[in-house]
Amino acid sequence: MSDYFKFSKPRWQVLEDKKVCKTTIFSVHQLKIKPDQKDETADFFVLKAPEWTNVIALTPENQIVLVEQYRAGIHEPSLEIPGGVVDPGEEPLQAAKRELLEETGFRSGNWKPIGKTSSNPAIFTNYTHLYLAENCEKVQDQQTDGNEDIRIHLMSLNEFLNLVKNGTVHHSLVLAAIAQFLLMD
């Protein structure tokens, strides 16, 4: 939590947690929750998912490494930064390094954590861990899994920020990573 803000709302009490559906990516749970200082209960549905990771990958020439891929939710391609799921037993930084290498073939020896963000706290239980990878170099071909069809793009940071500004880049977790990056000390 924050050293600068003191939250005043207590957690609500979870009375029941019932798994409704399990997929390969997440499980859907119906929660019966009792709001603080109220007698009635409320039902909420949440998606329990593993932690995720996203990487702002910069080359020695200060170009950003981007991935373009189809996203089923919006039924369109999306321009994003590399990232993915933190596997069981894996640390987020390990996952970030693995995802960067698999999705793009780029590797870095210079990593910095830049924060974490709630993936969508209204419905998701997980966080996305954000990293900056500097001096990235192409060391191999992509090694995507069967459900990935990724095209790599390199561009200047200013070009990328213009695509953020005009709405071409719209993925909320990518925007959160960029905000954290721009706010770095």
Is position 6 within any domain?
Answer: no
Sheet holding 27-34, edge to edge: 13-22, 27-34, 42-48
Per residue in 70-101, pLDDT tens? 999 999 999 999 999 999 999 999 999 999 99
pTM: 0.92
Same domain as 168, residue 92: yes
Is position 104 within any domain?
Answer: yes
Q: How many domains does the chain have?
A: 2
Per residue in 18-70, pLDDT tens? 999 999 989 999 999 998 888 899 999 999 999 999 999 999 999 999 999 99
Same domain as 57, residue 38: no
Q: Give residue 2's pLDDT band: very low, low, confident or very high (50, 70, 90).
A: low
Same domain as 77, residue 35: no
Domain extent at residue 28 = 13-48
Same domain as 88, residue 171: yes
Same domain as 44, residue 87: no
Is position 63 within any domain?
Answer: yes
Same domain as 155, residue 68: yes
Is position 116 within any domain?
Answer: yes
On whether the CB atoms of residues 73 and 120 are closer than 8 A, the answer is no
Same domain as 70, residue 151: yes
Same domain as 127, residue 159: yes
**Residue 3: CA count within 13 A, CB half-sphere:** 0
Distance separating alpha carbons of residues 138 and 104, to the nearest angstrom: 8
pLDDT at 114: 97
